[in-house]
Amino acid sequence: MGTVVLRSSEVRLDGEARLGWWLVSEDGSGPGLPVEGPFPDRAGAAWAAAGHEADPGCSLRPVYGLRRPDGGLHRRPSPQELAWLAHLGDQLDRLPDDWDAALDAEDPLATLVVEVAAALTEAGLPLWDAAGAGSALGGACLSAEPGLDGVVVGWRQHDRMSVEQVHGLVADISIQAVMNRALADVLWLRGLDVTPLGGEAGGHVVRYAE
C-alpha cells in the first residue's frame, strides 16, 4: 500500500484521504464516528456541521485523526495543537526557574499556573520574561502562592511606563489598574475564581471556582 503525504494535515492511502480534520458524531459513550471529512483545518470541519443534523443524544464536533479501514477514527494531536503546545511551553519557560520550588509534585497549584498561563496566552496576553532579553517589554506575572492557596496574577507594563514613567505617575497607576482588571476579567470569563489583592492597581489571587 503506497502512502503519499500531501500536506501537514492530510495523508492519502492508495488515493484516499485518511488523516485530517473530521466532523464526528459523539454520544459521550465512545470515540464517535466520522460523518464527513477530512478537511484541511478545524474551521472546515466545524462549518460542515451546518449541513448535518445530529442524531438524538449526539453532538457534532471537529476532531483531528486518522480514519481506520473499519470507518472509525484514531484521534491524533493536530499540527495546530502541537504548535499551540510548543508556544505555551515557550511562555511557561518565561516563569522564574524556581517558580514551583515550594510546591509538592502533586500540588494542584502547579496545574493552576499552567491553566492560567494558557488562558492568558490564548487571549493574546504574553507572560513577562523577567530574566530574558525582552524583560523591558512587560507582560503578565504569575506566582504560585501556597499561603494564599492560589496564583497571584498581575500585569507588568513596559519599562517606559513602569520604570521611566515617560507619561507620568498617574498614567502609570491608572493603566496598571486597567490591565490588572483586564487579566482578572479574562480569567473570570474562563471560569476561575478571581479575588482582588491590594489596592486598585494591585493584582488578583486566582483559584479554582468552587
Please spell the DSSP secondary structure of 167-204, one letter per residue. Answer: T-HHHHHHHHHHHHHHHHHHHHHTTEEEEE-SSTT--E
Residue percentage of the chain with pLDDT more than 70: 91
| Segment 62-84 mean pLDDT | 91
Is there a contact between 23 and 49 (Cβ–Cβ < 8 Å)?
yes
Mean of the per-residue pLDDT values of the chain: 89
Q: What is the pLDDT of residue 105?
A: 79
141: pLDDT strictly greater than 80:
yes
CA distance 120 to 111: 14
pLDDT band at 36 (very low <50, low <70, confident <90, very high): very high
Strands 16-26 and 33-39: what pairing? antiparallel
| Segment 49-77 mean pLDDT | 89
Nearest to 153 by CA among 108, 113, 191, 94: 113
120: pLDDT strictly greater than 60:
yes
